[in-house]
Amino acid sequence: MNIEQARFNMIEQQIRPWNVLNDEVLRLLSVVKREDFVPLAHKALAFVDMEIPLGHGQTMLAPRLEARLLQDAAVRKHEKVLEIGAGSGYLTALLAHQAQRVIALEIDADLVKMARANLQKAGIHNAEVRQFDGAVGAAAEAPFDLIVIGGSVAEVPQSLLAQVKVGGRLLAIVGEDPVMCATLITRVNEAEFKTRTLWDSTAPALQNFPTPSRFHF
Per-residue pLDDT of the chain (217 residues; tens, 9 = 90+): 699 999 999 999 999 999 999 999 999 999 999 999 999 999 999 999 999 999 888 999 999 999 999 999 999 999 999 999 999 999 999 999 999 999 999 999 999 999 999 999 999 999 999 999 999 999 999 999 999 999 999 999 999 999 999 999 999 999 998 899 999 999 999 999 999 999 999 999 898 888 876 555 4
Whether 79 maps to a domain, the answer reads yes
**210 falls within a domain:** no
The answer to whether residue 208 is domain-embedded is: no
SS3 (DSSP) at 113? helix
| CA-closest candidate to residue 25, choices 75, 61, 59, 60 | 75
In a domain, 15, yes or no: yes
The answer to whether the CB of 151 falls within 8 A of the CB of 209 is no
Q: In Å, what is the CA distance from 217 to each residue of 79, 154, 155, 214?
A: 47, 22, 23, 10
Residues in the chain: 217
Give the CATH number for residue 162.
Answer: 3.40.50.150
**In this predicted structure, what is the pLDDT of residue 214?**
58
Bond from prior residue into 178 cis (ω within 30 degrees of 0): yes
Q: Are the beta carbons of 88 and 118 closer than 8 angstroms? A: yes
Could you list the residue range(s) of the whole structural domain that residue 87 is in? 3-200
Asked, for residue 25, whether it belongs to a domain, the answer is yes
The answer as to whether 216 is a domain residue is no
193 inside domain: yes
**Of 65, 68, 93, nearest to 81 (Cα)?**
93
Number of domains in the chain: 1
Give me the pLDDT at residue 213, please: 62
Identify whether 49 is part of a domain.
yes
